[in-house]
Amino acid sequence: MVEQDRLIQEFMELVRVDSETGNEREIADVLKAKFSALGLEAVEDNSQERTGHGAGNLFVTWKGDSGVSAPKLLFTCHMDTVVPGREIKPTLHGDGWITSDGSTILGSDDKAGLAALFEAIRVIQEQNIPHGQIQFVITAGEESGLLGARHLDPSYLDSELGFALDSNGEVGAIAVAAPSQAKIQMQIFGKSAHAGVNPEDGISAIQVASKAISAMKLGRIDNETTANIGKFAGGGPTNVVCDHVQLDAEARSIVQEKVERQVAAMREALETTAREYGAESEFRSEIIYPAFSFNENDPVVQLASRAISAAGLKPRLFPSGGGSDANIFNGLKVPTVNLAIGYEHIHTTQERIKAEDIVKAAGLVVAIVQESTKG
């Protein structure tokens, strides 16, 4: 069914197209042409007007065969990569691993998913496999904080069950839960004074910030919740009491209420400490994507599990600690899980993937389509 040589050649072609996040125009045009060659039309939304990225999100709706009863399926991947992702030189080694030359990432995150989708479409067409409606959504700006998905035009969406091809782990693993993330910015405004002549007339924003941080519970809050201060910025000459500090932070939890409680606790620690020292503070937070959580009884998980077994693989359910476009689609009321496709060491120059795992991923997409028609 799946032709490995054809699939790997296409994967190599895709990773050679420069597509660092924010610069997606070239890869978007390549993908449009590939869909067109398969008889499918890719429609681009205008999200780039809001994101400032090089392209919008691509939507492809493949009509179902007449008389086929199946849920409307969504498959999603992202077109962008992290840096360094220019002039990638992929190599298939004798042991089956594919890597870059070590000077760049490989880009299997997420071009392995893209290659798997294109191969699956070819297999379905060549084998005349009956199918219901299938929608492919290829996002821009995923590596910039899910920016493309967060600004996509939901009027294009017409799906009932979703599958993202964008998780690490062995093919067959299903990310059935992922956290919400709150982006947090805290400002502390103290009062400047000469540090040697009259420091008592000043209010050190650095001291206030340090005390506030020490009052916050950070790191691993519980088995579902984390929080972190990522940036502490402020200061100047040592002879001046620092009057301003900015803290950039985040909180995550698989349970939406827990991330909201963690954000509230961090706000309370900041505001209480600022009042104690006579400083002013500002606290801003934004939920940039919602949490999701499924179990083995949910239809989207049952379909994925049946397909994995039908493909000769072993289903394994796990919670993810990071967000993906799947979070956004769940927030848009399309139940979506994230499927592992086998890549390793992503976002580093040691990134790699086995050729056989891309083959398995393509076969899994075909299996999902087949199982969806069995009721």
Indicate which residues carry an active-site annotation. Answer: 80, 142
DSSP classification of residue 272: H
Q: How far apart are CA 58 and CA 41, in angstroms?
A: 10
Say which amino acid occupies 52.
Answer: G
- Taking residue 189's Cβ as centre, other Cβ atoms within 10 Å add up to 15
Handedness of CA 87, 93, 98, 99 (dihedral sign): negative
Contact 92, 98 (CB under 8 A): yes
Q: How far apart are CA 364 and CA 1, in angstroms?
A: 12
CA atoms within 13 A on the CB side of 6: 12
- Taking residue 353's Cβ as centre, other Cβ atoms within 10 Å add up to 27
Q: How far apart are CA 79 and CA 181, in angstroms?
A: 22
Q: How far apart are CA 18 and CA 4, in angstroms?
A: 23
Nearest to 35, CA basis, from 79, 82, 86: 79
Nearest to 208, CA basis, from 275, 109, 139: 275
* Residue entry with tokens 């959504």: 137
Say which amino acid occupies 59.
Answer: F
Which alpha helices (DSSP H) does the chain contain, by range? 4-15, 25-37, 48-51, 108-126, 147-150, 205-214, 256-277, 299-310, 325-331, 355-372
Nearest to 251, CA basis, from 269, 233, 278, 277: 269
Contact 294, 300 (CB under 8 A): yes
